[in-house]
A and B are shown apart, each in its own frame.
Chain A
Amino acid sequence: MSKQYAIVTKALTKRFGHFTATDAITFEVEQGEIFGFLGANGAGKTTAMRMLCGLLTPTSGEATIAGYDIYKQTEQVKKRIGYMSQKFSLYEDLTVKENIRFYAGIYGLSNQQIKEKTAELLRKLQMEKEGGQLVSSLPLGWKQKLSFSIAVIHDPSIVFLDEPTGGVDPITRRQFWDLIYEAADRGVTIFVTTHYMDEAEYCNRISIMVDGKIKALDTPRKLKEQFNADSMNDVFLQLARAKS
């Protein structure tokens, strides 16, 4: 049954001392879906994502990624996921090509594959000329796009994006989402956290987290109907205000 779902969680909980960061969240993400994860800062989005990526061990609850258990089959999970954190995480003192080569290498791609992937990636990002440049010399938008491309270099079935477009201009954001759509068309499941409400509209389905709990989960259109709102922004504000 779980085969058609990319992500399945059941009452996934993480507590830090007395503070419950994510409180028994339960949801499924289908294969090939663009799944948005919304919430105010500190609502528990990043914690949830970090648990799914294997960076944090949950306190309780269950979860499977691509059918693999996140407790026992971490190796299998890690091979099938890509991850891009909100903190830029390429090596600034390596060139674009060297970064690609390194990450492709540790995901076990063969030399031939690395060569092909590098060429393809640079062509797609129109960065052929910049391949030999140090990453530190690139503008932020380019770095983000490069980060994403490297996060999917091993053709993962699911990719986790933690606020990937923070601090970039609207045009670059649009280009970034083109990359996301393209990956989704190839059947890659996208799990993205954001607090840009216009980006939320791009998602197939979204969940809204408040205080560690999932308060709403549906397609953007249905959510707007449900909350009788014009935009996702209104939906979000209604939920966030309900809290206080």
Chain B
Amino acid sequence: MRTIFFILQKEFLQIFRNRSMLPIIFVVPVVQLLVLSFAANYEIKNLTVDIIDQDGSTWSRQLRDKLLASDYFSLYRQTYDPKEAYNDLAMDRADLVLTIPPHFERDLVREDEASLQMMVNAINGSKAGLAAGYASSIIGSFNRQIRLDWLALDEDNGPARIAVDFRYWYNPDMNYKYFMVPGILGVLVTLIGGFLSGMNIVKEKEMGTIEQLNVTPIRKFHFITGKLLPFWIIALFELAFGLLVGKLVFGLPVVGNIGWVFLYAAVYLLAILGLGLLISTFTDTQQQSMFISWFFLIIFILMGGLFTPVESMPEWAQQITLFNPAAYFIKVIRMVMLKGSGWEDIRYYFGIMFVFAAVINGVAIWNYRKTV
């Protein structure tokens, strides 16, 4: 035990003596949390639209006003010249071009039917889908409105309908930040645990100091513990620090018992630190170790449901996700914080994480023995 204490002391001295370490530990998480949660927003607002109104009738103006009255669209240019509008689309200045053809109002009244043309900049497919969806629903509601006005129809005279009542639980304001902040915390913990621990062990190899340690009676178990424990502590500290920032800046709700989050993080970190250790056993330079960690971590994060839900991945990708510890961590942290899930709900995930930690560390230690 005393040996571990000496290693820990040395590690902390080295970590804190590195002048760039303190900003990494304190400043970076705050910046990340702030920037990410503001940046990571799929909500589409302020779409710019060019309107080519070739009709110039009451209804065409009403439609335009209705479109612009919504939160989603703002007018970039109103024009008669389609070329001008297409150019705006090509230059990314307009996301959408709506063409109201001549005789729009007249056709509607005389022929009961008129058509509009909408061109969407679809390079970002999901954004284009949403933009078209919003615009269509505004046009739809405009359509119903003029129909009611024109025919003086009453809702009860219409066809039978199902009145859908939507309820948004756990986040009625649909605040995307509540969803992102816990996920970002998960990523921070993963980065600190995964990157730094692996690099730290490899650094001793690269500098040659590991040789000196290998002739001492230090036990491998002590060495590994002493090397990894500081990052376990720092990562948990980061989590607490990040939660505090999230609470103060975003008013992040914590519905469940925060203890579960930390307990789960503690187990999760064992798995991630084990991964760092494993990587360090088959790399010789920090550059290699960093690179390999980066490779794994980016897959973990992209496939961890941080930005896009795991549910929307294809079947094969979802199968892969089953072996992604980060996905479980991000899921559990969100469950506890946003929905108040307790032991009954998360114990299954605890079990999985223990298995991960045991397997990864087992392989890492076995591999570590072989190398020295």
A interface residues with partner B (beta carbon < 8 Å): 53-55, 75, 78-79, 81-83, 85, 87-94, 98, 101-103, 105-108, 160
Contact = CB atoms under 8 A, between A and B. Distances in A.
B138 to A, nearest CB: 62
B214 A79 contact: no
A55 B211 CA distance: 8
B124 interface: no
B2 interface: yes
B13 A87 contact: no
A102 B9 contact: yes
Contacts of B212: 83, 85, 89-90, 103
Interface string B290-311: 0000000000000000000000
Contacts of A75: 217
Q: Which of A81, A106, A108 has the most CB of B within 10 A?
A: A106
Contacts, number: 69
B208 interface: yes
Nearest to B18: A93
Nearest to A92: B207
Contacts of A54: 214-215
Given A93-B17, A101-B9, 16 more contacts: A53-B215, A79-B217, A82-B215, A83-B211, A83-B215, A85-B208, A85-B211, A87-B211, A89-B211, A92-B207, A94-B13, A102-B9, A103-B212, A106-B3, A106-B213, A106-B218
Contacts of A101: 6, 9
Nearest to A81: B215
Contact of B6 (A79, A90, A105): A105
B215 A98 contact: no
Contacts of B2: 105, 108
B13 A98 contact: yes
B10 A91 contact: yes
A187 B109 CA distance: 114
A116 B11 CA distance: 23
26 contacts: A53-B215, A54-B215, A55-B211, A55-B214, A55-B372, A78-B215, A78-B216, A83-B215, A87-B208, A89-B208, A89-B211, A91-B14, A91-B209, A92-B207, A93-B17, A98-B10, A98-B13, A102-B7, A103-B212, A105-B2, A105-B6, A106-B3, A106-B216, A107-B216, A108-B3, A108-B217
B208 A88 contact: yes
B176 interface: no
Given A78-B215, A98-B13, A105 B3 contact: yes
A148 to B, nearest CB: 12
B8 to A, nearest CB: 10
Interface string B192-224: 000000000000000111011111111000000
A105 B5 contact: yes
B211 A102 contact: no
Contact of A55 (B3, B6, B209, B215): B215
Interface string B1-28: 0110111011001100110000000000
B268 to A, nearest CB: 30
Give 6 nearest A-B pairs by CB, closest first: A105-B6, A87-B208, A89-B212, A83-B215, A78-B217, A102-B10
Q: Which of A81, A87, A101, A102 has the most CB of B within 10 A?
A: A102
B18 to A, nearest CB: 7
